[in-house]
Structure 1
Amino acid sequence: MANKRTFSSSRAGLLPWLGIATIIILLDQITKITAVRVMAYGESVYVTSFFNFVHVYNKGAAFSFLADHSGWQRYFFTALGLGASAFIIYLLKRHAGQRLFCWALALILGGAIGNVIDRLLYGHVIDFLDFHVGGWHWPAFNIADSAIFIGAALFIYDELRRVKRS
C-alpha cells in the first residue's frame, strides 16, 4: 500500500509543474501560429524604437548556432530537447516540493517542448520577437526561448540561495 501512495503523491506533486509547462507550450504555439498567419516570412513590423515583431526561422539553436548546416541539426536538437525534457520530468518528480527549483524546471520544460514541436512540424523554430538598440539587434526569439531564459535565471538564483544558506 505504501508504494501505491508514494506513486500517487509523487504524481500529484508533479501535476502542477506539468501544468505550468503545458501553459508555456500553449502560449508559445498560439503566438507562433499567430505570427505565421499575420506576417509574411521575413516581414518586420515596427512596434517601438527598441522592439519589432518579425517572422523568421531558426534551423539551429540559440543565436542560430549550427543553423547553416545541412539539416542534421534538426534531429540533434530534437533529440536533445526530448532527452532534456525526460530528465527534467525526473527532476520534477524527485523535487516536487522545492518551489523555485520546480518553477525553473517547468519553464525550461515548456520552452524545450515548444521548440521541439516546431522542429518536428516544420524543421525549424519560428521566432518573432526582435529587440534592438541603436541598429544592433539581438537574435529574434519566441515565448519558448523566453521561458527557457527565465527558467535558467531562476535556476541560477535558486542555486545561489542554496549555496548561501550552506
Structure 2
Amino acid sequence: MQRYVENKTPNTMYVGNSSIPPGEGRMVEVADVISQPEALPHVPSVDELVAELLKGTVAKVSEALAGLTHEALDRAELLERDGANRTTLLAAIGAEKLQRSNAALEAQAQADRAEQLALAVTDLNAAQAALDAEGDTDKHPALEAAVAEARARVAALSDPAA
C-alpha cells in the first residue's frame, strides 16, 4: 500500500526502498504498519546536570565539586550567582578553583625543576669530564670551580625542601 510519509527528524529516513531527506515527504510503498524511528534518549546538558546538582544542600554540592569538570564548575558558579546566590557555596566553588589552579602550578613547577635538574646533571658530567681529561687538577682551578658550581646546582635542585 502507498502512503505519504514525512520526515520530521533531522536525519535522512529510510522507508521501504526510499530515502526521505529531513523536512521532506514522499509517497512510498509501505506495509500496513509504519515503523517510525525511535527518538534518541535525552542526554542532559552540562547546564541541566549542574542545575540539578545545585538543587541540593550546600554540604552536598560542596562534596560534589571535586568531581566536576572545569566547565561544569564554571557553570555551577554562574548558575549559583544567577540563582540562589549562596555565599558559602560560592566560596566553596572559589576554593575548588583555587585548589585546581595551585595543583596545576605545582605540577608545572615540578616539571620545570626536573628539567633544570637534568640540565644541571648534564653540566656536572661535562665539567667533570673536562677536568678528568686534563689530568692534574691542581693546575686547573677554573675547571675545578666549574665542577664545584655544577655540584652545588645539582645539590640545590635535588633538595626536596628547596
TM > 0.5 fold call = no
Normalization by structure 2: what TM-score?
A: 0.26
Relative to its length, the structure with more helix (as a share) is 1
Q: Which has the larger radius of gyration?
A: 2
Relative to its length, the structure with more strand (as a share) is 1
Normalization by structure 1: what TM-score?
A: 0.25
